[in-house]
């Protein structure tokens, strides 16, 4: 299954994501094209992805091109700004975040399942 990335490019989308996460869990992936670790983690996420479009909505945030959005994501969901970073949003709250090489699909899946239980 391939990830159907949705671009996260403006501040208004953050509130939309909070609302959407009340219907379906949302993943935000913060990425920098200048970072080789970002490339590794993106490849690992995409290679292992096993969620259908109706199970988890995935957003891609380019932290270089959209720095104010990235900083507001960190502020809104009360996490430290990192790149690469994944945030799992459910019911308007961040229930899981990981950064750098700590981003593991299996751990993300386990957190997803635990939060859905």
Question: What local confidence, expressed as pLDDT, does residue 40 receive?
Answer: 87
| pTM of the shown model | 0.93
Domain CATH for 34: 3.40.30.10
Tell whether 53 is covered by a domain: yes
Tell whether 1 is covered by a domain: no
Q: How far apart are CA 56 and CA 52, in angstroms?
A: 7
Phi, psi of 54 (to 5 degrees): -90, 5
Q: What is the pLDDT of residues 15-49, one digit of tens each?
A: 999 999 999 999 999 999 888 888 888 988 888 88
**SS3 of 23, please?**
coil
Output the CA–CA distances (angstroms, integers) from residue 104 to 61, 64, 71, 111, in the order listed.
18, 23, 23, 11
Q: Give the total number of structural domains in the chain.
A: 1
Q: Give the range of the structural domain holding residue 92, as residue numbers without chain letter.
A: 6-116
Could you tell me what percent of the chain has a pLDDT over 70? 99
């Amino acid at each position: 299954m391939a990830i159907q990335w949705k671009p996260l490019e403006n501040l208004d989308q953050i509130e939309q994501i909070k609302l959407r996460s009340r219907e379906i869990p949302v993943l935000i992936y913060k990425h920098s094209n200048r970072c080789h670790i970002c490339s590794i983690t993106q490849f690992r996420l995409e290679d292992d992805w096993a969620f259908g479009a109706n199970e988890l909505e995935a957003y891609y945030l380019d932290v270089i091109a959209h720095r104010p959005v990235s900083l507001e994501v960190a502020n809104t969901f009360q996490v430290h700004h990192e790149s690469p970073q994944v945030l799992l949003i459910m019911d308007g709250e961040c229930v899981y975040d990981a950064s750098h090489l700590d981003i593991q699909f299996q751990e993300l899946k386990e957190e997803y399942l635990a939060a859905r239980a």
